[in-house]
Amino acid sequence: MEKSMNSTTLARTKSEQLVIETQAAATQTSKSPTMQNEDAPITSESMGTLSRKSSQRMVVGASPGRSSGGNKNNSHIRKARSAQVKLDVEELSNGAALSRASSASLGLSFSFTGFTVPPDEITDSKPFSDDDIPEDIEAGTCKPKFQTEPTLPIYLKFSDVTYKVITKGMTTSEERDILNGITGAVSPGEVLALMGPSGSGKTTLLNLLGGRLIQSTVGGSVTYNDQPYSKFLKSKIGFVTQDDVLFPHLTVKETLTYTARLRLSKALSRQQKEKRAIDVIYELGLERCQDTMIGGSFVRGVSGGERKRVCIGNEIIINPSLLFLDEPTSGLDSTTALRTVQTLQNIAETVITTIHQPSSRLFHKFDKLVLLGKGSSLYFGRASEAMAYFSSIGCSPLIAMNPAEFLLDLANGNINDISVPSELEDKVQMGNSETETRNEKPPPAVVHEYLVEAYESRVAENEKKKLMTPLPLDDEIKLKVFSSKREWGASWWQQYCILFCRGIKERRHDYFSWLRITQVLSTAIILGLLWWQSDSKSTRGRQDQAGLLFFIAVFWGFFPVFTAIFTFPQERAMLSKERAADMYRLSAYFLARTTSDLPLDLILPVLFLLVVYFMAGLRLSAGRFFLSMLTVFLCIIAAQGLGLAIGATLMDLKRATTLASVTVMTFMLAGGYFVKKVPVFISWIRYMSFNYHIYKLLLKVQYQDITPPVNGIKTDNGLWEVGALVAMIFGYRVLAYLSLRRMQLHRGA
């Protein structure tokens, strides 16, 4: 009893103090116009500040968390409200009472329910919005949106979209329909989910909407702000493929940093771009593994879920207007998948994603849904209305189940635990052997046909009419999408430098692997032991050294060819992905890719020659040693060019390896060591052989002033051989570049 009286007294004391404070605030507000001179008029901002402060004091004083006691606390609330009314009456003259009354009453309404609103979160000029609602606790806490630049709003519409592929057999070719008249639309701020069983055409439709398929086999119309696809959209679209295409030896931070430097606008500085990469790392929860290598089949790295988030980060880093994702939640648990989708909603303007089997909570995050079955549309509309639609056509779950599971069962034609429509029951009861089954359930083909007919008769026409509605956009914004001008994130030179550094960081692990170093050094030691301190003064000794020089020409012609063959076939997926996003020009990539190999390719030959040259007792002269090294460098660069040309032309490792083996063997046999006199009709082959020119150069470097000439080779200055090798260096690389340019790496390349 005594404790209750004390609490009541405390409550009254606080309420009386509240009345005194609010009256003082009202007096100060009413006096404020007389205290200001004519040159400092009252602004709505100053009145809003005063009203905000007074209302905050009222909320703090009126909160039930500050007092205790049973029904006697109601007297405290009534006094606080009477103080509020008294204050409002006194301040109606200065125009600040309305905003203060609304905010104070809002705070009191929360106090009645037992919640205390922090004063800093109560404003008198801004009502509550969706942004103020906290995220699901299980899905993680809300993080601030890091993109600040506005994005171009894009309305995506697709109507009667069809897609066919032609399968060629030994004698005939067959057309196969992948998509049959798919219609839909998505507006800025929405999430469109493409659902369906495996093989229903989800990924094909996603690639088509993202501009990744050749238009010659596509029917119907796909428009972006009522305009067709253009190269300008490449910088406004993010596309996350189902396969994680990443460089295994780069860390998470390096991967996102290089992407930011290549894709973000030129208006941003390098520091701003790198900061954006760090923001994405923290946004996606990758801070713990940011210094860990991505990893691959033979390299340990981050987990599968983290690798998927890195792929997503590569695309959301540009704040795309349209973000396409192919199975972004595969390999993720339901909570992480929900958090990932919520992050994408906060960052991207519009999200279009294929998803196989989402959780029930994730399903309710979708705004629109396209349900596919065997390439046909079974439903398009609001995701929240999908269950009601299928119930209207007689298909509803008989047991409680995840909406996504129910929809996928229907798309597969499986109607176990699903009510059978009367039309299908009639077909079963007719006794037709084609439709009757043992459990009196219609077969999947009949269910699919019924769902397609129901959609065409009830939904399709209405959705097509909605697509005719004019967009709420200016003509200027519409025409901007149609622009054919590409927006590069960096200049050509910047692209070259970034790709050059990235190439060295990625391939240094391969070049300096113990396996490769052991291979080169062991070969050098064996050669040095076999030709240990050979005599270069006698004719027989020079003949022996000529065999060593020929082997050097063959070894450093064979080794780079089979290393360079793998360059473009192995990076084809990465090149297609990055070029489709307009990350860089093909010329910048090609030059950076070929030149970044040179510093790494020239280190091992130096070690090789340091061992072989002095162990074999070749002529000890600084000039001859460095000329021999320069000759080997020319051989490596020419042979590398041949490997690049073969790999880029065929883009198939098995065929490229076969062709390279035949070519290198032919060049070796025509190199001038095994056959001195070649028939005239085939003698032209030796002039195409870099082995032949390298062998002659090495002989001229070692025995230029010695007679008689070794193997009948004239010891002139060797300018002809140097010119032939330089022509091969550039000729093979031009052929490789043209092969890449001609190849259909992606649409519009």
**pLDDT tens digits for range 136-145:** 433 344 444 5
CA distance 314 to 331: 18
CA distance 480 to 205: 25
CA distance 135 to 671: 72
Higher pLDDT, residue 244 or 680: 244
pLDDT at 433: 52
Note if the bond before 708 is cis, omega within 30 degrees: yes
The DSSP code sequence of 224-267 is ETTB---GGGGGTEEEE-SS----TTSBHHHHHHHHHHHHS-TT
Average pLDDT over every residue of 384-399: 93
Find the range with the poorest average confidence among 291-300, 375-384, 417-426, 516-525: 417-426
pTM for this one? Answer: 0.75
pLDDT, tens digit (0-9, with 9 covering 90-100), for 31-59: 443 344 444 433 333 333 333 333 333 33
pLDDT, tens digit (0-9, with 9 covering 90-100), for 588-643: 999 999 999 888 888 899 999 999 999 998 888 899 999 999 999 999 999 999 99
Token reading at 306: 């983290």
Burial of residue 318, with CB atoms counted within 10 A of its CB: 0-12 exposed, 13-18 middle, 19 or more buried = buried
Q: What phi and psi, each to the nearest 5 degrees, are found at residue 734? A: -65, -40
Q: What is the average pLDDT score of the chain?
A: 79
CA distance 515 to 524: 14
Find the range with the poorest average confidence among 64-68, 271-275, 283-287, 707-711: 64-68
pLDDT at 142: 45
Closest CA to 373 of 350, 395, 398, 388: 395
424, 376 Cβ separation under 8 angstroms: no
Q: What phi and psi, each to the nearest 5 degrees, are found at residue 146? A: -90, -20
CB neighbours of 103 closer than 8 A, spacing ≥ 6? 51, 52, 55, 122, 123, 124
Find the range with the poorest average confidence among 31-35, 235-239, 259-263, 267-271: 31-35
Find where tokens 């994405």 sit. Answer: 280
pLDDT, tens digit (0-9, with 9 covering 90-100), for 354-375: 998 899 999 999 999 999 999 9
pLDDT at 744: 55
Res 3 pLDDT > 80:
no
CA distance 584 to 507: 20
Res 437 pLDDT > 70:
no
CA distance 730 to 712: 30
CA distance 482 to 228: 7
Find the range with the poorest average confidence among 89-98, 205-214, 383-392: 89-98
pLDDT at 58: 38
Nearest 5°: CA angle at 108, between 107 and 113? Answer: 100
pLDDT at 549: 92
pLDDT, tens digit (0-9, with 9 covering 90-100), for 103-120: 333 333 333 333 334 444
pLDDT at 432: 53
Give domain limits for the chain: 513-744
pLDDT at 41: 39
pLDDT, tens digit (0-9, with 9 covering 90-100), for 272-313: 999 999 999 998 889 999 999 999 888 899 998 899 999 999
pLDDT, tens digit (0-9, with 9 covering 90-100), for 467-479: 888 888 888 787 7
DSSP state of 293: B
Higher pLDDT, residue 208 or 216: 208
pLDDT, tens digit (0-9, with 9 covering 90-100), for 151-206: 888 999 999 999 988 887 777 788 888 999 999 999 999 999 999 999 899 999 99
pLDDT at 427: 67
The DSSP code sequence of 512-565 is T-HHHHHHHHHHHHHHHHHTTT--SSSHHHHHHHHHHHHHHHHHHHHHHHHHHT
pLDDT band of 75, cuts 50, 70, 90: very low
Contacts of 475-478 with C-beta under 8 Å, sequence gap 24+, read 477/152, 477/153, 477/225, 478/225, 478/226, 478/227
pLDDT at 644: 95
CA distance 342 to 358: 13
Burial of residue 586, with CB atoms counted within 10 A of its CB: 0-12 exposed, 13-18 middle, 19 or more buried = middle
